[in-house]
Amino acid sequence: MNSQSEKKSFDSLVDALVEKNGQSMAEIELKPYTPTVYAIPGPIWASMIEMLKTACTFQPTLYKKLEPLATRDELQEYVENIRELEGQYMQITVDHLTGIQDENLNQIRKLLRLEQTARENFQKQVGNAQEEFTSKVSKDFSAWKKELEAFQQETERRWRSLRRRITLGLVFSWALAFGALWMLLR
């Protein structure tokens, strides 16, 4: 705000201006209609007097309205206060947003850990299922191989048995044929 001495000098200047303007107006109002080169009709003269009164009171009224306005130093201080408040507000906003971002980041990390755990569990399940499938296929293949080997051995045994029978049948047929031939030739 304005200092005390500035206010007193301002008030005294305004009061002096009002007094001077008031004296001038009183002199103008007291003078009767004075003819000049051009005659001014009464209504126009009254309007002119009113306009002068308004002009005389306008300047002091304006100064009184401007008096409460801040000085340059006060405006600079006000601007600095606003900047400081803006800085504080920005810091509060940044802190708040940083807190929110940290919370969001922590939630994302938790979700990523859960996803990683779920993926690892799924891979374990897939590995177990693959091992079970491989084990079952291996057992089935081993059983099928044993059956095939048993079938092959049985087939070989039957084939040997069949060859023996055929060989014995041929030997017996030859023996009969030689026996019959021998009997005929004898």
Most confident range, picked from 24-28, 66-70, 133-137, 181-185: 133-137
pLDDT tens per residue, range 50-86: 888 887 787 778 777 777 776 778 878 888 998 999 9
Percent share of the chain, pLDDT over 70: 85
- Kindly report the pTM of this predicted structure: 0.37
Residues 6+ apart with CB under 8 A from 67: 2, 7, 10
- What H or E segment, with its residue span, contains residue 186? none
Stretch 160-178: mean pLDDT, rounded?
Answer: 87
On whether both 22 and 61 belong to a single domain, the answer is: yes
Higher pLDDT pick, 164 / 63: 164
Do 99 and 63 share a structural domain?
no
What is the per-residue pLDDT across 84-140, written as a single tens digit (0 to 9) for each? 999 998 999 889 889 899 999 999 999 999 999 999 999 999 999 999 999 999 999
Give the per-residue pLDDT at 1: 47
Tokens of 139: 């057992």
Question: Within this chain, do residues 46 and 8 fall inside the same structural domain, yes or no?
Answer: yes
Quote the pLDDT of residue 120.
94
Is the pLDDT score of 32 beyond 60?
yes
Residue 178 lies in a domain: no
Last residue in a domain, options 68, 84, 115: 68
Question: 23, 49, 68: which is the final residue of a domain?
Answer: 68
Query: What local confidence, expressed as pLDDT, does residue 169 receive?
Result: 87
The Cα 45–Cα 51 span in angstroms is: 10
**First-to-last CA distance in the chain?**
166
Taking each helix axis from N to C end, the angle separating 4-30 and 42-66, rounded to the nearest 10 degrees, works out to 180
Specify whether 40 is located in the same domain as 101: no
Which own/partner contact pairs does 157-165 have at CB distance under 8 Å and 24+ positions apart?
A: none
The DSSP call for residue 7 is H
Cα–Cα distance, 66 to 57 (Å, whole number) = 14
Q: What is the mean pLDDT of the chain?
A: 83
Verify that 104 and 63 share a domain, yes or no: no
> Is the residue at 181 inside a domain?
no
The boundaries of the domain holding residue 124 are: 95-159
Range from 16-25, 27-36, 70-79 carrying the lowest mean pLDDT? 27-36
pLDDT at 174: 86
Are residues 49 and 29 in contact, defined by beta-carbon separation less than 8 angstroms?
yes
**What is the three-class DSSP state of 67?**
coil
